[in-house]
């Protein structure tokens, strides 16, 4: 009797294991927070056995080791089709105009979603994220707004004149689900990644800032705007946007409520999902000034009566970016790009020419301490750089010719 039950249990476990494709993707690959690297043992539950005691005694664990912890088989993400990997250039240069760059070591691929294509016509393209490659439709350009369960929220467009850009979800199996056309600038996921805010056209030159459910695509809330509107972030206070970029009026909106105007004194505000600290950047030189030394950036928080309070100010340029956790400011100043710890203002410096590291409010961070940069150098050299903003150490990810090589990596947001 026992042997017969053990055989049935073994057959059931074997059948359950065969339902998990070899290249299926655990949803932890795209979490709302930094994934754990801990290895876990996941028991496979088997139904249809009469004796519960046997199940309790004969527990057979399924070990899944993919660097990230894995869920039970039934909740795995759709498997991605096979894609031929494209190699980006990692050429060693000597005697160039960038000797400090030439000496940097090469590091691993970006740990953010990035796209590759076989040629400038975007043929044979794919999005890659943490080793998962998802094919893209030929001729379609895709840019990641952020990771969601089993995929990414992305912008997608063809580049053909008159063809509007759209926003939607790209799944790990390569399927695309559109939320519709997008106008204006900017889009932001909510803090938990369940909703997306962007500017949607409503006809005759008008638009609305809308929020939609990422899971269903259902529109949840909307507030009037113009086709020149811009979403500049989403944090615990709500969605931050400029109803009309030309007028530089910034508002914060809790979906379902009424937008509230916040005085930024004409500065560009950028909000981030992971922190309530925000970035304020001068958009023009102060009256009577003729040098960039008088341009400043500020780290600010929203206080009582919807007033902004400055935590740190750095002058000498208008370019800056704030780390995802709000702890580090990287800013342009007269001495070059430099890092600052927001809490005490102490400085960090990069071990590479500041001309090769750029600071911009739309910069892409790999994590809370690593900043990514892509730039063209001259007419025929493209490089992608990773820098640790605490230690100052930098490394190359990609470096090589711009022509006759695969297009990419084009970085997107994690």
- What digits encode the pLDDT tens for the residues 304-347? 999 999 999 999 999 999 999 999 999 988 768 999 999 999 99
Q: Which residue has better confidence, 289 or 184?
A: 184
The pLDDT tens digits for 106-129 are 999 999 999 999 999 999 999 999
Predicted TM-score (pTM) of the model is 0.83
- From 30-39, 173-182, 343-352, the region with the lowest mean pLDDT: 30-39
CB under 8 A, 24+ apart: contacts of 311-320: 311/277, 311/342, 312/340, 312/342, 312/345, 314/340, 316/292, 317/292, 317/359, 318/281, 318/282, 318/283, 318/292, 319/281, 319/358, 319/359, 319/360, 319/361, 320/279, 320/281, 320/359, 320/360, 320/361
Report, as an integer, the average pLDDT of 100-107: 95
Model pLDDT, residue 237:
98
**What pLDDT is recorded for position 135?**
97
What pLDDT, in 10s, does the model give residues 269-296?
999 999 999 999 998 866 656 667 789 9
Q: Where are the domains of the chain?
A: 2-75
Residue 184: what pLDDT? 86
Please name every residue paired with 191 in a beta bridge, in sequence order, or none if there are none: none
Mean pLDDT of 79-89: 94
The predicted model gives 57-82 an average pLDDT of: 50
Residues 6 or more apart whose CB falls under 8 angstroms from that of 34 comprise: 367
pLDDT at 54: 29
Predicted local distance difference test score (pLDDT) of residue 21: 56
Residue 238 β-bridge partners: 235
Average pLDDT over residues 173-192: 96
pLDDT of residue 389: 95
Give percent above pLDDT 90 in the chain. Answer: 69
Task: Pick the more confident residue, 373 or 60.
Answer: 373
- Please provide the average confidence, as pLDDT, over all residues in the chain: 84
pLDDT at 23: 62
pLDDT in tens, 227-253: 999 999 999 999 999 999 888 899 999
The predicted pLDDT at position 314 comes to: 95
Looking at residue 142, what is its pLDDT?
97
55 or 383, which is more confident: 383
Model pLDDT, residue 287: 61
Structure confidence at residue 42 (pLDDT): 28
Structure tokens at 292: 């960039």
Give the pLDDT confidence score for residue 52 in this predicted structure.
Answer: 33
pLDDT value, residue 28: 58
Q: Residue 208: is its pLDDT beyond 60?
A: yes
Residue of 201 and 24 predicted with greater confidence: 201
């Amino acid at each position: 009797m026992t042997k017969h039950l053990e055989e049935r249990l073994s057959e059931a476990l074997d059948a359950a294991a065969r339902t998990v494709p070899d290249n299926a993707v655990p949803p932890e690959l795209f979490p709302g927070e930094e994934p754990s690297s801990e290895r876990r043992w996941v028991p496979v539950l088997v139904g249809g056995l009469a004796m519960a005691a046997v199940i309790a005694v004969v527990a057979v664990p399924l070990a899944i080791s993919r660097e990230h912890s894995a869920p039970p088989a039934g909740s795995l993400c759709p498997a991605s089709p096979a894609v031929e990997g494209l190699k980006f250039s990692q050429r060693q240069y000597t005697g160039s105009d960038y000797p400090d760059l030439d000496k940097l070591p090469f590091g691993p691929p970006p740990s953010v979603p990035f796209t590759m294509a076989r040629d400038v016509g975007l043929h044979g393209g794919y999005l890659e994220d943490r080793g998962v490659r998802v094919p893209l439709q030929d001729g379609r350009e895709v840019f990641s707004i952020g990771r969601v369960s089993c995929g990414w929220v992305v912008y997608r467009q063809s580049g053909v004149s008159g063809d509007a850009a759209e926003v939607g979800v790209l799944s790990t199996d390569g399927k695309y689900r559109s939320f519709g056309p997008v106008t204006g600038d900017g889009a932001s996921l909510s803090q938990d990644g369940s909703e997306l805010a962007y500017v949607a056209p409503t006809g005759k030159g008008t638009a609305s800032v809308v929020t939609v459910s990422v899971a269903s695509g259902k529109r949840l809330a909307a507030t009037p705007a113009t086709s020149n509107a811009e979403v500049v972030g989403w944090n615990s206070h709500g969605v931050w946007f400029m109803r009309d970029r030309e007028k530089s009026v910034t508002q914060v909106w809790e979906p379902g409520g009424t937008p509230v105007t916040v005085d930024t004194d004409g500065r560009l505000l950028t909000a981030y999902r992971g922190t309530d600290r925000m970035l304020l950047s001068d958009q023009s030189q102060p009256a009577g000034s003729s040098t960039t030394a008088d341009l400043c950036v500020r780290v600010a928080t929203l206080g009582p009566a919807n007033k902004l309070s400055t935590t740190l100010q750095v002058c000498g340029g208008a370019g800056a970016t704030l780390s995802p956790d709000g702890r580090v400011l990287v800013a342009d100043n007269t001495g070059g790009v430099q890092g600052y710890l927001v809490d005490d203002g102490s400085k960090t410096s990069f071990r590479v020419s500041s001309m090769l590291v750029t600071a911009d409010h739309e910069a892409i961070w790999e994590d809370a301490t690593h900043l990514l940069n892509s730039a063209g150098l001259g007419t025929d050299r493209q490089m992608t750089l990773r820098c640790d903003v605490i230690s100052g150490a930098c490394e190359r990810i990609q470096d090589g010719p711009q022509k006759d090589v695969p297009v990419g990596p084009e970085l997107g947001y994690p």
